[in-house]
Amino acid sequence: MASYEPDPKLKFTFGLWTVGNIGRDPFGEPTREKITLSQILEMLGEVGAYGVNFHDNDAFPIDASPEEIARILKEFKKGMKDNGLLCPMATTNLFSDPVFKDGAFTSNNAKIRAFAIQKTMKAMEYGAELGAKTYVFWGGREGIESDATKNPIDAIKRFREAINFLCEWNIQNKFGYKFAFEAKPNEPRGHLYFAVTGSYLALIPTLDHPDMCGVNPEFAHETMAGLDFVHHVAQAIEMKKLFHVDLNDQEMGRYDQDFRFGSHSLKSAFFLVKLLEDNGYNGSRHFDCHAYRQSDYQDVREFAKGCMRTYMILKEKVGRWNADKEIQGLLKLINTEDVGMSKLTKKFSTGNAKKLLEAPLDRIELSKARLPYEQLDQLSNEVLMGIR
Ligand code: GLT
Ligand code: MN
Ligand code: MN
């Protein structure tokens, strides 16, 4: 029996805010005592995580003095070293403080926009000091409740301007960051700008430094909107823009649940792992989720181990699926190749167009091809259920 211990090559990471989550929700007070930075790092070391990610204000308060910040960063580094952790990703909290109540980079107030950029410039320094090479941008407050309040085109322009500025800051300071944009459809705003991963994929080519920028899709976010997360990640991979990924779980049409990876939608999680593994994804696998509000910290450890273990188990299942002769036979059957025809449609030319128009493509005959998808899906389920 395999041990399913976390494989460091898979770079399993957690944010300080995930295992450190205190179980507060919009209707209720915290159910867990806040634990210290050192305690969180100790817990992550204990469960076998590869790394830890953080927002500036997960580590120190927004009004911390430079001396306090320096002291905490030192403690942070020591905690990472003592527990064998790396810090691959950093980000800025641009959503908790009341100043950001109507957005940060897209705020209607030029001084608030400037403050958001200034705060990010500093936070980029802190992340770089801990060795982070990916910088995440989640626009938690970049949105509206009413379109009367903000011009949506201005919002896009303001966001672009902020990112262009920060790309130059990245270059000037030689931080070596790759930026990863994280989309979400709503929560905490009624509607967030850049609602899906594709919105950012469309924005990136319009930036001054498109090569520096990619995406950080989160399972829960496309799922909240009732969409197929795997397809969004696939598009990012195909465009070579998957710089980071946030793994968790979520039921469609519900509030922002951020459940333990695989806890609800095992089948989608399986096809996501398959997509990442089959395509050689090499970045962090970051678990952006938190334990149930009922859990104590002992159970939070089980939650963290569960995320990684589920990934390891699903990865093994992917291997089985790929090696399953019957499944492979069906895949061959449904992917009907025709070398001559593919050559014709691969690239337009006047000659190819002429040949295509004359090609004998018999609609009735073609519709007879077998598609045993029930069988294929059942076999996939049987792999998942552990009998193949
Ligand atoms: C917050 C949010 C996440 C983002 C984090 C990065 S913070 O927990 O729900 O989806 O990834 O800012
Ligand atoms: Mn989320
Ligand atoms: Mn996230």
Taking only the tens place, the pLDDT of each residue in 258-300 is 999 999 999 999 999 999 999 999 999 999 999 999 999 999 9
pLDDT over 90 at 2, yes or no: no
Instruction: Name the closest-CA residue to atom 5, ligand 1.
Output: 138
CA 376 to chain centre: 29
Number of the ligand 1 atom closest to the C-alpha atom of 184:
10
Assess contact for 223 and 265: CB atoms under 8 A.
Answer: yes
Q: Give 3-39 pLDDT, tens digit per residue.
A: 999 999 999 999 999 999 999 999 999 999 999 999 9
Number of the ligand 1 atom closest to the C-alpha atom of 92:
12
pLDDT over 70 at 88, yes or no: yes
Q: Give 98-128 pLDDT, tens digit per residue.
A: 999 999 999 999 999 999 999 999 999 999 9
Q: How confident is the model at residue 86 (pLDDT cuts 50, 70, 90)?
A: very high
Output the six-digit token pair for 19: 């295992």
Residue spans of alpha helices (H) in the chain:
16-19, 37-47, 56-59, 66-82, 110-129, 152-172, 197-203, 219-224, 229-238, 266-278, 297-323, 325-334, 339-346, 350-358, 363-366, 373-384
pLDDT over 90 at 1, yes or no: no
Strands 12-15 and 285-287: parallel
d(CA 69, CA 5): 35
Output the six-digit token pair for 160: 């672009």
| Ligand 3 is an ion; residues with CB less than 5 A from it | 218, 246, 288
Please tell me the pTM assigned to this model: 0.97
Q: Where are the domains of the chain?
A: 8-323, 325-384
What DSSP character marks residue 246? E
Assess contact for 380 and 327: CB atoms under 8 A.
Answer: yes
* 97 noted as active-site residue: no
Assess contact for 184 and 218: CB atoms under 8 A.
Answer: yes
Instruction: Name the closest-CA residue to atom 6, ligand 1.
Output: 138
Strands 51-55 and 12-15: parallel
Q: CATH homologous superfamily for 8-323? A: Divalent-metal-dependent TIM barrel enzymes (3.20.20.150)
Strands 191-192 and 178-182: unpaired
Find the residues whose C-beta lies inside 6 A of ligand 1: 17, 55, 91, 136, 138, 182, 218, 246, 288
Closest CA to 90 of 176, 159, 24, 9: 176
**SS3 of 285, please?**
strand
Phi, psi dihedral angles at 81 (to 5 degrees): -65, -50
